[in-house]
Chains A and B, each alone.
Chain A
């Protein structure tokens, strides 16, 4: 019942997000576009929540729908560009763009439904192992790993709070009592242990972005 509701919610949010995305492209006024994009990002965040990725959903809301969108709106307002876009639209170009987008979407769909095990319900890792054959190195390890995988064609695997608790160092008894899935904790563990150095480097990228934005944005002194 619960899973059925979350499934329905996914489709609702997904369709809403796609409609908002259409709006971004279709509205002539950039402010409308920006508002549509905020909605689109919000629905996307809802889809994240549905997938159990709460932290990323929050980040999506705060960074995209919050910070970035505000920045966009701020620039639109500052430059006062709302009066444009009355110029002719290139109809052939729009047609070509739609065709390209359609082909792309078609390709993605084709790839998505032809993933290993997507139709047969087999385990993807097992399918891979079979097609590689026994000659491939590490075939045995993959074979054992395959047993723990869920087929792509089936529903997403359920999240297990107990396994997560054990992963985070709790003993069996405490873990068995766990009810909520500690998504943020696990992400933080991965981010600050395995990906610590890339994380630090990323901060430099952000710093560089800040400095660059300031340097570009200041008025050039007229010589």
Chain B
């Protein structure tokens, strides 16, 4: 019985979500409390497991049994290895803090809060399903479920057109990647003969490299969608229309990292030999392109959440690049530190937004450092971690990735270094504009320190953002079996990353001064406009892809509708019925003699059958 306890990770949030929605849809306070308690309970359970509390392997339930020999039954099982349980710590830990923060953040919101908290709980359930799944089918179920909960939460304020559109965009863009993922799962089943992670090991050696490449790249498509990699990155910045805690939990710390987690899980279970050279280069290139493009676009964003969103994209690009360089360890390290400090940044941004009366434009803020010092301090901790100032957690994980890149491929190393400089530049810009100088708008002028339910999670996350990178903690908590933090060492990666850090800092200070400027001095030229317009990628998708699909799709549908359905089926049946009716009405002419004639013909046919075709006994 007790060995089935890990199922609670899944069932508790699911049941709470159902209860929230079914019974407490009219009392949001109870719903919020229940959801928060369930998140904290799963967190406590997770901590207990990490402290070595072993209860044995949870039962595997056969979901869709297949009786035939040699076929795979679909089952539902949980893995409780270090990779999964430490990832669960990130999910439930940040999840709990976000739940607590949400209580403060959503106070006074007039929308249906029970729906919000039910959505959060459903997200916790689905994310746990991804993390704990012992086979790809179950991962896929969780994969779709997180997409669904993400849709629910992005579109929480569905009265706003932009939020509803963003929710749809996220959902549909994810579908594209999921399609590849589904093909990848089927390919895995065909190539490996199993989709259970535990049974994949050692099978890659005897398989043709082309098949392996195809399988891995198809599976990677799922990660491209979920982790918002180029070219499917467009949904993530728009997803910022959702409530900020949701952005912190789903679109910064956990769900978007699920792609990275899944890739590392595959690397661990299939073995790195399954990742052929072509597949690796593809993955790493996509990651690198995303990192560079996202960092460039972040340079000219004015919305505080959008800056962070592009930063998330860029950091996810880092992680995917690391996976492509077969440095799953470094990728998971960065995922883990990034989860803490990016959640911190988002929650800090959320606190700032609430305190500035829902103002998100950094050019309308300013001088916040004096008005809400504690929040700003926490935010700065997150920033330092993100731009990798030595001593903060991000520094260690970025070093790990740069190390791995230098060992494998110097091209990716220099790309990483360039992105690091860009990151420093845009984060410094954000801080200088928003926190220094004078308030530029009455919202910022009236800002006050956030309440305790918002500050406490911020402080907890700030602590984690500082210390989580140190070896003595990371060795126990980084979601990777047998992780060992490499000691910080002087060398080329260190010098280059320090160089890019200093370069970014100096450039930002020169351009933006100490927050005295009213507008962006870099704005106005063609490059800046292009970056603001997200390099026109979204417009191209909108006009070329979506417009084209809609136009040609409309024509196809028009054809199907008018010619096939209306012309052939509806009118065709009507025509046929009319013709048959006319024929029958000729028979049904009301003439008694006609009926007698038909009856006579019938008698003859009947007699013929009876007397001449049925053999006599």
Contacts and interface: CB of A to CB of B under 8 A. Distances in A.
Judge A-B direct contact (beta carbons within 8 Å). yes
Interface of A: 90, 93, 96-97, 100-101, 103-104, 107, 110-111, 116, 128, 131-132
16 contacts: A90-B593, A93-B593, A93-B597, A96-B597, A97-B597, A100-B600, A100-B601, A104-B603, A104-B607, A107-B604, A107-B607, A107-B611, A110-B611, A110-B612, A116-B616, A131-B616
Given A104-B607, A107-B607, A107-B611, A97 B616 contact: no
Contact of B600 (A90, A97, A131): A97
Interface of B, secondary structure class, is helix
Interface of B: 593, 597, 600-601, 603-604, 607-608, 611-612, 616-617
A51 to B, nearest CB: 24
B608 A107 contact: yes
Contacts of B607: 104, 107
| A-B residue pairs, 6 tightest by C-beta | A100-B600, A111-B611, A107-B607, A103-B604, A131-B617, A104-B604
A85 to B, nearest CB: 14
B477 to A, nearest CB: 85
A100 B611 contact: no
Contacts of B617: 128, 131-132
A155 B607 CA distance: 26
B24 to A, nearest CB: 70
A135 to B, nearest CB: 12
Contacts of B608: 107
B616 A104 contact: no
Contact of A100 (B604, B612, B616): B604
B600 A104 contact: yes
Nearest to A116: B616
Contacts of B600: 97, 100-101, 104
Contacts of A131: 616-617
Nearest to A128: B617
Nearest to B594: A93
Contacts of A96: 597
A100 B598 CA distance: 10
Contacts of B601: 100
Nearest to B611: A111
Given A103-B604, A107-B608, A116-B616, 5 more contacts: A90-B593, A93-B593, A104-B600, A104-B604, A107-B612
Nearest to B608: A107
Nearest to A103: B604
A103 B597 CA distance: 13
Q: Which of A90, A103, A110 has the largest number of chain B CB atoms within 10 A? A: A103
Nearest to B599: A100
A148 to B, nearest CB: 21
Contacts of A132: 617
Contacts of B603: 104
Contacts of B616: 116, 131
A110 to B, nearest CB: 7
B616 to A, nearest CB: 7
B610 to A, nearest CB: 9
Contacts of B611: 107, 110-111
A110 B612 CA distance: 10
A96 B617 CA distance: 34
A110 B611 CA distance: 9
Nearest to B593: A93
Contacts of A97: 597, 600
A103 to B, nearest CB: 5
B107 to A, nearest CB: 81
Contacts of A90: 593
A128 B617 CA distance: 7
A90 B594 CA distance: 11
A100 B600 CA distance: 7
B440 to A, nearest CB: 95
A93 B592 CA distance: 12
A131 B617 CA distance: 6
Nearest to A96: B597
A25 to B, nearest CB: 13
A110 B603 CA distance: 15
Contacts of A111: 611
A127 to B, nearest CB: 9
B617 to A, nearest CB: 6
Contacts of A116: 616
A101 to B, nearest CB: 8
A31 B9 CA distance: 100
Nearest to A90: B593
Contacts of B604: 100, 103-104, 107
A131 B616 CA distance: 9
Contacts of A100: 597, 600-601, 604
A97 B601 CA distance: 9
A146 to B, nearest CB: 15
A90 B600 CA distance: 17
Contacts of B597: 93, 96-97, 100
Contacts of A101: 600
A116 B611 CA distance: 13
Nearest to B600: A100
B385 to A, nearest CB: 95
B203 to A, nearest CB: 62
A132 B608 CA distance: 23
B463 to A, nearest CB: 95
A56 B160 CA distance: 96
A124 to B, nearest CB: 11
Contacts of A110: 611-612
Q: Which of B601, B607, B608 has the largest number of chain A CB atoms within 10 A? A: B607
A116 B601 CA distance: 27
B609 to A, nearest CB: 11
A107 B607 CA distance: 8
A220 to B, nearest CB: 23
A165 to B, nearest CB: 36
A131 B597 CA distance: 37
A18 to B, nearest CB: 19
B596 to A, nearest CB: 8
Q: Which of A96, A100, A110 has the largest number of chain B CB atoms within 10 A? A: A100
A13 B612 CA distance: 31
B608 to A, nearest CB: 7
A104 B604 CA distance: 6
A136 to B, nearest CB: 9
A222 to B, nearest CB: 27
A174 B617 CA distance: 43
A93 B604 CA distance: 17
A100 B603 CA distance: 9
A118 to B, nearest CB: 12
A90 B597 CA distance: 13
A103 B601 CA distance: 10
A178 B293 CA distance: 125
A109 to B, nearest CB: 11
